[in-house]
Amino acid sequence: MERQSTQRLREELRQTKPFPSRAQEAYLALLRTVDELRRRSSVLMARHDVSLEQYNVLRILRGAGAAGLPTLEIAGRMVERQPGVTRLLDKLEAKGLVDRVRCKEDRRQVLCTLTEAGRTLLASLDGPVDESSQRSFGALRPEALETLVEYLDRIRYPELYP
Amino acid sequence: MERQSTQRLREELRQTKPFPSRAQEAYLALLRTVDELRRRSSVLMARHDVSLEQYNVLRILRGAGAAGLPTLEIAGRMVERQPGVTRLLDKLEAKGLVDRVRCKEDRRQVLCTLTEAGRTLLASLDGPVDESSQRSFGALRPEALETLVEYLDRIRYPELYP
DNA sequence: CATTTTTACTTGACTAGTCAATTATTGATT
DNA sequence: AATCAATAATTGACTAGTCAAGTAAAAATG
């Protein structure tokens, strides 16, 4: 089990030396896994001429409903920083997938909403995305998935788990 | 018909629950965790004016020893594609951390080796990197780390775990 | 009120990554 | 040997992300 996966990771990296520590082995496995997952879903998005990151923005906006969301709020729900989100929105607006309107109540904010085109594009991606996700995570039982999420939480917030 | 109603149901779930499925929750947790880990180590590298990616190239070269490695071989041990590695090497060579010499036996290849400066820089990062890694993964017991690596392996190779 | 501080977003200058096309060299095939 | 295919690396044109600095509007303060 463990020995097997260590072996495979070593082969994958074509590395002869053992890992300096288990922690670093886990770190590399994390990087590789996320990269692989990104690649798998990017293929789906590419067919609709949006990037994975643009897709994530669209999905957040759909979750927010008709009221829309200000830019900073979108950034808060993503991994990226504000400037990156502004630039993503620039592109999405140019493609007609998102509307941006300066908020009447607070003219500093810019409210972003999905256009009809954006909603349609998202809808056509729902099936494929879900299938791909099931394919990737299907090898883990629900309890394993739960454990995985807990472990990842611990890594992100080590101070909460002494 | 059937398809539409499941879609509607899914959308309803999305509004009430934060995650449409455990798989997607795990996916997001993975993205966030890797991003956080990248940030933590980037701070260390930044003090020596190299990026995390440049550091990874240096470490691979150290692992390869005095013989050095051709560009494509470095790329093979990383997450990135060749063009990205060429550009990373451009910057590392400009900083005097890496030497590049066209290989005598096969003039298509370019052999890359660490310079003394590169070796010194790496050495001074060893301690901090290991500490940071222990801090991040310290919240997981060794058995948990093993399990984590195994789960990640399953995600990358779902077909091997039916 | 006028002034300062904070907030929301944008822009500039960078690093980094991708795919597709290009160059140089090696190897294989008539 | 002349040609054609494969391989190694690079370059071009893109997307995306970062920090730091700038703009504009709202809130807080004196």
Q: Is B20 on the interface with A (CB under 8 A)?
A: yes
pLDDT tens, B19-63?
567 888 898 899 989 988 998 898 899 999 999 999 999 999 999
pLDDT of residue A158: 87
A139: chain B residues, CB-CB within 8 Å: 154-155, 157-158, 160-162
**Calpha distance A110→A144 (Å, rounded):** 41
List, in order, residues 6 or more apart from B42 with CB less than 8 Å away: B51, B52
Tell me if A5 and B31 make a contact (CB, 8 A cut-off): no
pLDDT tens, A18-74?
456 788 889 889 998 998 899 888 889 999 999 999 999 999 999 999 999 999 999
Is pLDDT at A13 greater than 90 in this prediction?
Answer: no
Q: Is A132 on the interface with B (CB under 8 A)?
A: no
Mean pLDDT of chain A: 87
Structure tokens at B114: 């660490």
pLDDT tens, A120-140?
999 999 999 988 888 899 999
Confidence of residue B161 (pLDDT cuts 50, 70, 90): confident
CA B136 to chain centroid, in Å, comes to 15
Q: What is the 3-state secondary structure (H, E, C) of A60-119?
A: HHHHHCCCCEEHHHHHHCCCCCHHHHHHHHHHHHHCCCEEEEECCCCCCCEEEEECHHHH
A156 in Cβ contact with B148 (< 8 Å): no
Distances (CA, A) of B155 to A18, B112, B129: 22, 33, 27
Strand C–CB B81 distance below 7 A: yes
Instruction: Report the greatest alpha carbon distance in chain A.
Output: 62
pLDDT of residue B80: 85
Query: Which of A155, A157, A161 is most worth mutating to test chain B (most B CB atoms within 10 A of its CB)?
Result: A155
Q: Is A83 on the interface with B (CB under 8 A)?
A: no
Q: Is B158 on the interface with A (CB under 8 A)?
A: yes
pLDDT of residue B13: 39
Chains A and B form CB pairs within 8 A to the count of 164
pLDDT tens, B97-147?
999 999 999 999 999 999 999 999 999 999 999 888 888 999 999 999 999
Strand C–CB B57 distance below 7 A: no
DSSP A51: -
Give percent of chain A with pLDDT exceeding 90.
Answer: 65
Is pLDDT at A12 greater than 60 in this prediction?
Answer: no
Strand C–CB B131 distance below 7 A: no
Buried b (16+ CB within 10 A) or exposed e, B53-71: bbbbbbbbbeebeeebbbb
Strand D–CB A107 distance below 7 A: yes
Buried b (16+ CB within 10 A) or exposed e, A131-158: ebbeebbebbeeebbebbbebbbbbbeb
